[in-house]
Amino acid sequence: MIRLFVPDPLHAGARFPLAEDQAHYLTNVMRRAVGEAVLAFNGRDGEWRASVAEAARRRCVLAVEEQTRPQSARPDLDLVVALVKRARLETIVEKATELGARRIRLAITRHTNADHTNLARLQAIAVEAAEQTGRLDVPEVVGPEKLERLLDGWDGGRALVFCDEAGEARPLLEAVRAAGPAAVLIGPEGGFSPEERARLRSLPFVTPVSLGPRILRADTAAITALALWQAGAGDWARHDIAP
Ligand code: SAM
């Protein structure tokens, strides 16, 4: 069944118009008619079955009926990733969403080859991936922010799992066991600078980890690190994933 992320409050009897692009998608592209059902979620109220109450060319109103899944927390896991080329960054946002990242923080490091990106497009990719993957929320894509500043303002209660391609480090699965608030850090195509590595390794909340003997591309590294974290400390130990 089609799932839609909406900003509106969700409760039995609620009725609201969809945004124009969602209305177009539902009525013109997917040709859903009045009375047909969709699933709606907003990141706060769980997932609800709703039916199409009005369907015109550019307008579609949903009528909310019953809750299908209560809002449930997911692991408190951020991804901090250096800006890489657009296509790879879009893949990283989509896969980080599927892998349960709570938030995606974009970083500018010594070797990043860009200092800006299209945040709106990346956020739209996160919404689409959350709808597809059955999540009850959508990760926020924030930044880009210089790595130094990000570290200066770091919440020490959140463990930073530093994927260090160049250093002696324990395998991620061995190094990460605690299930508390965490973030995975992935560098750019050019890797981290020696100064960045030295600073990261000096910080008390940082755990350097290895992703094996081969150098992975940023998108491969992000997917691998998030998957290993979920397997070792996240919600892959449970099996209550979306049907
Ligand atoms: N130069 C290559 C490229 O163009 O893609 C590789 C740079 S690598 C993608 C960038 C980041 O991926 C690294 O900074 C690190 O965070 C992560 N990474 C890649 N291989 C890794 C490994 N074997 N162990 C730990 N982290 C790794």
- What are the chain's domains? 3-69 (2.40.240.20), 77-233 (3.40.1280.10)
Q: Is the CB of 165 under 6 A from ligand 1?
A: yes
Mean pLDDT across 107-116: 90
Q: Which atom of ligand 1 is nearest to the CA of 162?
A: 16
Residue nearest to atom 2 of ligand 1 (CA): 189
> Is the C-beta atom of 139 inside 6 A of ligand 1?
no
Which residue minimizes the CA distance to atom 11 of ligand 1?
187
Model confidence pTM above 0.85: yes
The pLDDT mean for the chain works out to 94
| Ligand 1: residue whose CA is nearest its atom 18 | 165
Please give the number of the atom of ligand 1 that sits closest to the Cα of 192: 14
Q: How confident is the model at residue 114 (pLDDT cuts 50, 70, 90)?
A: confident
Query: The tokens of 93 are what?
Result: 């946002």
Element (H, E) at 164: none
Q: Provide the pLDDT for residue 116.
A: 84
- Token digits for 186? 């992935």
Q: What is the pLDDT of residues 183-213, one digit of tens each?
A: 999 999 999 999 999 999 999 999 999 999 9
Q: Indicate whether residue 191 lines ligand 1 (CB < 6 A).
A: yes
Q: Which atom of ligand 1 is nearest to the CA of 185?
A: 16
Read off the DSSP letter of residue 50.
E
| Token pair of 92 as six digits | 């990283």
Nearest alpha carbon, ligand 1 atom 21:
165
200 φ/ψ sector (left φ>0, alpha ψ -120 to 50, else beta): alpha
Element counts in the chain: helices (H) and strands (E): 7, 12
> What sign has the CA pseudo-torsion 141, 132, 218, 120?
negative
Question: CA 142, CA 105: separation in Å to the nearest integer?
Answer: 5
**Strand partners for 78:** 103, 183
Residue 243 pLDDT level (bands cut at 50, 70, 90): very low
C-alpha of residue 74 to centroid of ligand 1, in Å: 27
Instruction: Determine the Cα–Cα distance for residues 91 and 126; give it in Å rounded to an integer.
Output: 10
| Rg (the chain; Cα; Å) | 20
Distance 238 CA to ligand 1 centre (A): 29
Locate all alpha helices (DSSP H) within the chain, ordered by sequence: 20-23, 86-98, 119-133, 147-152, 172-175, 194-202, 218-233
Q: How far apart are the first and last CA of the chain?
A: 11
Q: Which residues pair with 235 in a beta bridge?
A: none
Distance (angstroms) between ligand 1 centre and the Cα of 164 equals 7
